């Protein structure tokens, strides 16, 4: 594998910069606007603030233009997903997050097995339960004239939906959220490692329980499923459950925070949704476009010249989807929320074989959240006595967002 530290001089100086959303002061307002400034520079650059594979050296390529992002994500033979999360490696183990860290053809087998759990038909079956959960949370909030959105709705709503899907106890939500926060948002390696170990032990115990006594949850589905006429191994099930845990407990919650912050600051947008609820689906797509919460990455499987840039086998290529969603070459005035924007493609859920498996569920949750909130809560605004606080590490989102009405 190439040592990026030894060949740093091979990268043209005009392509080298050090950038981190967490270090940009404008991220305290909106990390997506801050990251959008990257479009003023080259469409691909070498970021010395990014860690390479296994932390062996610093540096990674960052792709900012949406068309180039799609090109990377749609070519798994050249841009591999193996090891991109690093969680099992951090634990000194070798199981992949599945299907995230699998390349074709193995990826297709597991993706095909899991797709049926997140198909539009299956999401339709879940609709009533998801809506009931939203109404219950919003009904409690509506009895007051203010709320801390993140803790009272932004996180409990999508996290509760996902915990029920996984078969994890909803009354332990705070514990699971603490593990998620430590793994995904802490800058302290020991904290991240301890949370990952704790989650791994919990999931191993749960898998053993479901093997002994299956129920009707996702883990039970996995322990009773087969691929190529063989039962799934405990390691494969662990990789799937670990992946769903880290993917399902953060991204929709983060997106909801930015959506409701923008609505709180722009009452005319609220009024439009209230006056014409049928416009919510298109408005939702525009807000998803503007707030692509996930940053993914790939590793080069061989030396390659990518649009004139010489990359080497083993180089890490980072694809921040939230930057692609602000690409002015594809979206006119990308920082403007335009509910009439005619969106034909959306990068926020990724592209290629690894496109977000939970996108149908995420869309349904966001749509229901908007529909039920505007029915029950009058025109709301930010609570200026407690300004919003953004976390711009890994999955960008709000630590707190206070609303009043």
Task: Note the pLDDT of residue 5.
Answer: 39
Q: What is the CATH number of the domain that holds 140?
A: 1.10.630.10
Q: Is 398 helix (H, G, I), strand (E, B) or coil?
A: strand
Q: Is the pLDDT of residue 335 over 50?
A: yes
Share of the chain above pLDDT 90, in %: 75
Does a structural domain hold residue 1? no
CA-angle at 208, arms to 204 and 211, nearest 5°:
135
Q: How confident is the model at residue 44 (pLDDT cuts 50, 70, 90)?
A: very high
Q: How confident is the model at residue 2 (pLDDT cuts 50, 70, 90)?
A: very low
**Predicted confidence (pLDDT) per residue in 244-255, tens digit:** 988 888 889 999
Interstrand relation of 316-320 and 295-300 (parallel, antiparallel or unpaired): antiparallel
Q: Residue 204 contacts by C-beta under 8 Å, 6 or more apart in sequence?
A: 234, 238
Structure tokens given for 84? 């991109």
Does a structural domain hold residue 3? no
Q: Is the dihedral of CA 319, 320, 323, 325 positive or negative?
A: positive
How many domains does the chain divide into?
A: 1
Task: Note the pLDDT of residue 165.
Answer: 85
Better-predicted residue by pLDDT, 146 or 177 = 146
Does a structural domain hold residue 2? no
Does a structural domain hold residue 81? yes
Q: Is the pLDDT of residue 237 over 60?
A: yes
Residue corresponding to tokens 């792709």: 63
**Predicted confidence (pLDDT) per residue in 151-201, tens digit:** 999 999 999 998 888 888 999 999 998 998 888 877 788 999 999 999 999
DSSP state of 153: I
Q: Is the pLDDT of residue 206 over 90?
A: yes
Does a structural domain hold residue 178? yes
Q: Which CA distances in Å does 21 have to 10, 37, 196, 242? A: 26, 11, 24, 26
Q: How confident is the model at residue 203 (pLDDT cuts 50, 70, 90)?
A: very high
Q: What is the pTM of this model?
A: 0.92
Does a structural domain hold residue 247? yes
The arithmetic mean of pLDDT across residues 371-387, rounded, is 96
What range does the domain containing 191 cover? 8-404
**Predicted confidence (pLDDT) per residue in 266-309, tens digit:** 999 999 999 999 999 999 999 999 999 889 999 999 999 999 99
Q: Is the pLDDT of residue 395 over 50?
A: yes
């Amino acid at each position: 594998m190439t040592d990026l530290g030894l060949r740093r001089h091979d990268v043209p100086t005009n392509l080298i910069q050090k950038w981190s959303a967490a270090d940009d002061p404008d991220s305290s307002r909106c990390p997506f606007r801050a990251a959008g400034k990257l479009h003023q520079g080259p469409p691909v650059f070498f970021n010395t603030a990014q860690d390479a594979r296994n932390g062996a050296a610093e540096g990674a390529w960052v792709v900012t233009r949406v068309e180039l992002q799609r090109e990377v994500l749609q070519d798994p033979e050249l841009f591999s997903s193996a090891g991109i999360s690093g969680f099992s490696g951090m634990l000194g183990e070798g199981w992949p997050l599945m299907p995230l860290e699998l390349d074709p053809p193995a990826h297709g087998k597991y993706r095909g097995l899991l797709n049926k759990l997140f198909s539009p038909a299956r999401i339709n079956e879940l609709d009533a339960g998801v809506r009931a959960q939203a109404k219950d949370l919003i009904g409690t909030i509506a009895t007051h004239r203010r709320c801390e959105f993140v803790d009272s709705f932004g996180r409990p709503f999508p996290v509760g939906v996902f915990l029920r899907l996984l078969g994890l106890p909803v009354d332990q939500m705070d514990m699971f959220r603490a593990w998620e926060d430590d793994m995904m948002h802490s800058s302290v390696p020991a904290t991240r490692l301890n949370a990952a170990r704790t989650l791994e032990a919990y999931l191993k115990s749960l898998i053993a329980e479901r093997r002994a006594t299956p129920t009707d949850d996702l883990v039970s589905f996995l322990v009773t499923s087969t691929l190529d006429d063989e039962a799934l191994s405990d390691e494969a099930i662990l990789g799937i459950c670990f992946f769903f845990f880290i993917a399902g407990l953060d991204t929709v919650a983060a997106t909801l925070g930015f959506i409701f912050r923008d609505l709180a600051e722009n009452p005319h947008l609220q009024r439009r949704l209230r006056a014409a609820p049928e416009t919510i689906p298109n408005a939702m797509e525009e807000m998803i476009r503007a707030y692509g919460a996930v940053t993914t990455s790939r590793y080069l499987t061989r030396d390659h010249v990518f649009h004139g840039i010489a990359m080497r086998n083993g180089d890490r290529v980072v694809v921040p989807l939230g930057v692609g969603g602000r690409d002015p070459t594809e979206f006119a005035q990308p920082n403007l929320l335009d509910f009439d924007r005619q969106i034909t493609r959306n990068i926020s859920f990724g592209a290629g074989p690894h496109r977000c498996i939970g996108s149908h569920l995420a869309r349904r949750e966001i749509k229901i959240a908007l529909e039920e909130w505007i029915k029950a809560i009058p025109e709301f605004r930010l609570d200026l006595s407690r300004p919003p606080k953004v976390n711009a590490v890994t999955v960008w989102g709000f630590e707190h967002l206070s609303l009043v009405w």
